[in-house]
Amino acid sequence: MAPPPPSSSLPISTLLTILCICISIPSSSSHSTLTLSLTHHITPKTNNQSSHLKHTINSLASSSITRAHYLKNPNNTTSSSSTQIPLFPRSYGAYSISLSFGSPPQKLPFLMDTGSSLVWSPCTNNYKCYDCRFSDVNQTNTPKFIPNRSSSAKMIGCNSKECGWVSGSSQQTSCNGNESCPAYTIQYGSGSTSGFLISDTLDFPEGDVSDFAVGCSIVSTRQPSGIAGFGRGSSSLPNQMGVTKFSYCLVSHRFDDAPVSSELVLVRNSTNSTNSTAGDSEMSYTNFQKNPMNSSEAFQEYYYVNLREITIGGKSVNISNEYLVPGADGNGGAIIDSGTTFTVMDNVPYDLVAREFENQMSEYKRAVDVESETGLRPCFDVAGKSAELPEFTFHFVGGAKLSLPVADYFSFVGDDGDDGVLCMTIVSSNLIGSNSSIGPSIIIGNYQQQDIYFEYDLENGVLGFRKQICK
């Protein structure tokens, strides 16, 4: 994870000053289903489409590596309802939703992230984002939450449990009970965000969630928007809302930044609820791996899955258990993460997977120049040929298996507009450096989740999935 530039961070005293100037707010269940739209972004086309595509692919590979560095080396700082939220794909490799906070509600975009827990938004008119030149993001018009415009916004005290979610128990020991929660700083791979914790109303047509703890960020680096954490930590949106199950189906990145979305469904407060997909013969289920108790606190937020093996073209890739099963320290094993774009593997399993594809596709010429340009490997020149690709399958403990759609693990990287080169969209964590063996060995990114329906049954600790066209 690259450290933020000197100009991107502000001392706590400055943050306190900004907060005092910008915020003047007082101190501080029924069964339903909620559905939200889930979307993604596209980068504007250029005249040199081939060069642009290769640059985009290279950027996504780099951002996946940087994100993996963060995930591996995190900075530790009775009736039911459901809600459906539109989920949109974005060209910087993530998927976004819209949430409304405050009284009256202020609608804001958030990236949906299963690899972290805090929900935060750009906040106050003084919000600054450094190094935020994303091609599809207007820096001068960043949507911001304005606490002064909400009658329900409150500061969170330093002795509250919510403050402990971001500051830790050590900070609360020195709390005198009359102070606000200290400022937070959260690292996200290539970027970071800093601000203060407040509580406000999260607005849904199916029913509001009062006193929701949300980060009011004053300064960020390389963050295109706020983040809605869907991880296993206490501060996550599912935990604060009492969500017992959530599901999504990520539309293809072909629709990046287009007005195309799928649905993120949240089921709340269901006790012994029946499975909405029960009886669906196409659904497969596997238990989530219990998070290693002796691991880093941040590793407790991840969704570890019980991966047993990977097969390519029906042939088992000989990956040893140390990469498939997490140790007591949280190193090794596999997690599923919506915030990473391309799947990232430790160098050993990655090399085994890449070599197996190279062996089974030896009839095609390697496009080494494209590999060099994009950072992806292997790439094959399939111009003028009817390419047949071996099937890539994840096998889970208990017998469940997930065979990925071909577009999830190989992408065309055209030359002068000709779709003649195919590249594997899985990358190695070797580029991270000496700490690449720390943390999860396999991070299943959102590129490998396209056109697959996923159901996170938090109540029963089960992950369900099936292939389907999401849009």
Q: What is the pLDDT of residues 398-440, one digit of tens each?
A: 999 999 999 999 998 865 545 689 999 999 988 666 555 688 9
3-state SS, the chain, equals: CCCCCHHHCCCHHHHHHHHHHHCCCCECCCCEEEEEEEEECCCCCCCCHHHHHHHHHHHHHHHHHHHHHHHHCCCCCCCCEEEEEEEEECCCCCEEEEEEECCCCEEEEEEEECCCCCEEEEECCCCEEECCCCCCCCHHHCCCECHHHCCCCEECECCCHHHHHHHCHHHHHCCCCCCECCCEEEEECCEEEEEEEEEEEEECCCCCEEEEEEEEEEEEECCCCEEEECCCCCCCHHHHHCEEEEEEEECCHHHCCCCCCEEEEEEECCCCCCCCCCCCCCCEEEEECCCCCCCCHHHHHCCEECEEEEEECCEEECCCHHHHCCCCCCCCCEEECCCCCCEEECHHHHHHHHHHHHHHCCCCEECHHHHHHHCCCCEEECCCCCCCCCCEEEEECCCCEEECCHHHHEEECCECCECCEEEECEEEHHHHCCCCCCCCCEEECHHHHECEEEEEECCCCEEEEEECCCC
Higher-pLDDT residue of 470 and 65 is: 470
- Told to judge if 337 belongs to the known catalytic residues of this protein, a careful annotator would answer yes
Grade residue 451 by pLDDT with cuts at 50, 70 and 90.
very high
Percent of the chain's residues with pLDDT above 90: 54
Task: Say if residue 108 is in the same domain as residue 138.
Answer: yes
Q: Give the range of the structural domain holding residue 246, as residue numbers without chain letter.
A: 27-262
For residue 82, is it within any domain? yes
What's the token pair of residue 294?
């002796």
Q: In this predicted structure, what is the pLDDT of residue 258?
A: 62
- For the domain that residue 167 is a member of, what is the CATH number? 2.40.70.10
Grade residue 149 by pLDDT with cuts at 50, 70 and 90.
very high
pLDDT of 268 > 90? The answer is no
Grade residue 46 by pLDDT with cuts at 50, 70 and 90.
very low
For residue 272, is it within any domain? no
Question: Of 200, 257, 337, 415, which is the active-site residue?
Answer: 337
Measured distance CA(321)–CA(300) in Å, rounded: 20
Q: How many folded domains does the chain comprise?
A: 2
Higher-pLDDT residue of 354 and 260 is: 354
For residue 410, is it within any domain? yes
Grade residue 271 by pLDDT with cuts at 50, 70 and 90.
low
pLDDT of 131 > 70? The answer is yes
For residue 20, is it within any domain? no
For residue 68, is it within any domain? yes
pLDDT of 144 > 90? The answer is yes
Higher-pLDDT residue of 329 and 109 is: 109
pLDDT of 228 > 60? The answer is yes
Task: Say if residue 81 is in the same domain as residue 223.
Answer: yes
Residue type, position 462, single letter:
V
- Told to judge if 200 belongs to the known catalytic residues of this protein, a careful annotator would answer no
Q: What global pTM score does this model have?
A: 0.85
Q: In this predicted structure, what is the pLDDT of residue 436?
A: 59
Q: Which of 227, 262, 297 is the last residue of a domain?
A: 262
CA-based R_g, the chain, Å: 22
Q: Which of 202, 227, 262 is the last residue of a domain?
A: 262
Task: Say if residue 174 is in the same domain as residue 321.
Answer: no
**Edge-to-edge strands, sheet with 401-403:** 315-317, 307-312, 392-396, 401-403
Task: Say if residue 45 is in the same domain as residue 125.
Answer: yes
pLDDT of 274 > 60? The answer is no
Measured distance CA(398)–CA(293) in Å, rounded: 23
Asked if 183 and 195 touch (Cβ cutoff 8 Å), the reply is: yes
Task: Say if residue 124 is in the same domain as residue 36.
Answer: yes
**Edge-to-edge strands, sheet with 410-412:** 365-366, 379-381, 421-424, 410-412
Task: Say if residue 229 is in the same domain as residue 305.
Answer: no
Q: In this predicted structure, what is the pLDDT of residue 401?
A: 96
Task: Say if residue 43 is in the same domain as residue 188.
Answer: yes
For residue 92, is it within any domain? yes
**Phi, psi dihedral angles at 225 (to 5 degrees):** -165, -175
Quick one: average pLDDT of 2-15? 37
pLDDT of 92 > 60? The answer is no
Task: Say if residue 256 is in the same domain as residue 396.
Answer: no
Task: Say if residue 79 is in the same domain as residue 151.
Answer: yes
Grade residue 89 by pLDDT with cuts at 50, 70 and 90.
low
pLDDT of 24 > 60? The answer is no
For residue 401, is it within any domain? yes
Asked if 310 and 424 touch (Cβ cutoff 8 Å), the reply is: no
Which of 65-79, 84-98, 312-326, 350-364 bottoms out in mean pLDDT, i.e. has the lowest? 65-79
pLDDT of 383 > 70? The answer is yes
Task: Say if residue 161 is in the same domain as residue 53.
Answer: yes
For residue 219, is it within any domain? yes
pLDDT of 51 > 70? The answer is no
Task: Say if residue 121 is in the same domain as residue 229.
Answer: yes
pLDDT of 190 > 60? The answer is yes
Task: Say if residue 336 is in the same domain as residue 258.
Answer: no
